[in-house]
Structure 1
């Protein structure tokens, strides 16, 4: 893989198999190419009540279903993105299936997943996937395929207590940045929700949160009820 491709690797689509405690338990799948599409769906449950003999209805909120999302991406075996090194499409599909659908002995089910693409990070489970082979060599072996996979967001229950601790006004986390770290991914690890990365960037006065300096320190302040961080402690 060339230098430019390696530089983009932290932002490539990654599917990481994890256990119920969100710890990696297998080899992650890393896509060569950016996804063709990422569609996120949110469903809210409303209960309607229409009295007999009247028109219209009063709706009351019941709950919000877990988010679902669909990702479509390409797998290539021609070597176009790997300096001519041809990685068989069948091998890449096998790695994708091993990460997403293989039954883990300790879990007695496929692994939970962390899906990360750029600033999108979600702990989830996979619902289904379709692999469409679109190009073949003269022997009939596939050399290009398109994968369409759908997922449902999953909340890691053991992290609920951690999130409760994070609501304390006296608790601030300090993290030393390592090479290749991304602010949304670090934010997800601290709060289990990458959407706080804007508040963390402001709290640390980051001018460019896309390029974190290795060795630097970031403060992750607690979040209040309005999902806004309090000022980081200077102690």
Structure 2
């Protein structure tokens, strides 16, 4: 008799660089494979028409990053754990798995390929694979709905809905992230740094780069380059 096919779980592997090189530093396998998932491609066209002109075909603008939508369930009850081939006595299973999912998709990391080796935080670059399907991108949003609890209030079952967007950052740009922001009178340089990198501690470099005299108020409306 032919041997039974091995069950392969949908897996999320986490990388700290946009080329997905090196070994993943974290991974997360779904408890149960999804019954379906959704991918979406969006092509943008300019549909504007000049007043009084005949109808013209839309002009191509760009291809937006593709989306990947995924929903899955975590079941920490005895029945759910047994169905997944796990021990039925794993306490706090749902809490542990949600923490692992967060680490694999959301918790900030530093880019190991960055030439500057500075710790600019960003969510992980995720490689999602199952069978012949492979998607590379980053988490855009996630929603967790807890549907069952123990008498002590510990989550026993949860449904996770997550959306990922594709795209690989240009590494030469990512090595030294920069963004030009319009500053206003009330902006502070630490505040602008927080918007870009999530960390205000780089403000001294920004002040030096832009030749600013006052980091609390860059001075009126203008452009400030934030690394």
- TM-score normalised to structure 1 length: 0.59
Corresponding residue for residue 22 of structure 1 = 20
Structure 2 gaps of 5+ residues are 112-119, 172-227
Q: Where do 4+ consecutive residues of structure 1 move more than 3 Å?
A: 54-57
State the partner residue of 1:112. 125
Identify which range, 30-39 or 142-151, moves more after superposition.
Answer: 30-39
- Structure 1 unpaired stretches of 5+: 159-235
- Whole-Å separation in 1 of the counterparts to 2:148 and 2:106: 24
Higher-Rg member (1/2): 2
- Establish whether residue 12 from structure 1 lines up as the match of residue 20 from structure 2: no
- How many aligned positions are there? 152
1:154 matched to 2:179: no
- Contact 1:14/1:115 (<8 A) preserved: yes
- For residues 104 and 51 of structure 1, the distance between their equivalents in structure 2, rounded to whole angstroms, comes to 48
Give the superposition deviation at 1:49.
4.1
Q: Is the 8 A contact 1:45 1:62 kept in 2?
A: yes
**Cα RMSD (Å) of the superposition?**
2.2
CA 1:125–1:103 in structure 2 vs 1: closer, same or farther (change >3 Å)?
same
Q: Structure 1 residue 93 and structure 2 residue 90: aligned?
A: no
Alignment of 1:186-225 (within 5 A): none
Structure 2 residue 88 is matched with structure 1 residue 84: yes
The residue number in structure 2 matching 1:57 is 56
8 A Cα contact 2:16 2:25, kept in partner: no
Aligned to 2:100, the other structure's residue is in SS state helix
| Post-superposition offset of 1:37 | 3.1
Where 2:65 maps in the other structure, the secondary structure is coil
